[in-house]
Amino acid sequence: MSAPVPYQHYDPTSQMLVTPEDPDAPARAARLRSLGVGSLPLPEFDAFARNLARILETPYAMVNFIDESRQYFAGLYATGQPGVELPPQEASSSRIMSKDHGWCPHVVVRKKALVLEDVCDYPRFAGNPVVDEMSIRSYLGAPLIDWNSGMALGTICVIDTDTRPWGRQGLEIIKAQAQEMVARLHEIERQGGI
């Protein structure tokens, strides 16, 4: 007969890494600098975000680039819906968010789309600061994979304050739109950067 195993307290949050480790961050930051992305709002990317929100019928959409320490919304569309206070679109400094907020850092590290119909259904993601601070309930995002390096440079995403059944169609749309943005980034590079 074996000795009884002592009772161990289980902490369900102990295995939940809020911000994923990101070994590609330095190389990504260098690549973004070479493209000229990440320091100024870009009207073309704002228009892309606006169109993405229209297609997926969401109040918010972003073109988000992630470096070593932050996220930068080079493209941002926010309807100004009550209860959610996203930064105004005019000031570039207000487009910066910590890497421990939101789910785009997870998309970049995974290099795969992320579909959260109700973030509260996923303990790993439900505790994210934007759930309480901004009342976000659903998220749909896809990585922007650089064709040359295979590295994820950032994401495009949409969010909503209500739960959303994104379905296969939503996933296909966000992935196709991500490819369009990557093609645009490569076109920008061919033209000598932003």
Q: Tens digits of per-residue pLDDT, 153-187? A: 999 999 999 999 999 999 999 999 999 999 999 99
pLDDT confidence tier of residue 15, bands split at 50, 70 and 90: very low
Based on its alpha-carbon atoms, the radius of gyration of the chain, rounded to whole angstroms, reads: 18
63-97 CB burial, b ≥16 within 10 A, e <16:
bbbbbeebbbbbbbbbeeeeebebeebeebeebeb
Q: CA 102 to CA 129: how far, in whole Å? A: 7
> Is 50 exceeded by the pLDDT of residue 17?
no
> Is 80 exceeded by the pLDDT of residue 14?
no
Q: CA 108 to CA 25: how far, in whole Å? A: 10
pLDDT value for 124: 67
Percentages (nearest 5) of helix, strand, coil residues in the chain: 40, 20, 40
CA angle 177, 187, 181 (to 5 degrees): 15
pLDDT value for 82: 39
pLDDT value for 170: 97
Q: CA 56 to CA 115: how far, in whole Å? A: 13
- Comparing CA positions, the residue from 63, 41, 19 lying closest to residue 157 is 63
Within 13 A of 34's CA, how many CA atoms are on the CB side? 12
CB atoms within 10 A of CB 116: 23
Mean pLDDT of 5-23: 54
70-78 and 138-145 as β-strands: parallel, antiparallel, unpaired? unpaired
**Is 0.85 surpassed by the pTM of this model?**
no
Domains with residue ranges and CATH for the chain: 25-190 (3.30.450.40)
pLDDT value for 10: 36
pLDDT value for 176: 98
DSSP characters over 62-131: EEEEE-SSEEEEEEEEE---TT--PPPSS-GGGGEEETTSSSHHHHHHHTS-EEES-GGG-HHHHTSHHH
pLDDT tens column, 47-64: 999 999 999 999 999 999
pLDDT value for 153: 95
- According to DSSP, residue 145 is labeled E
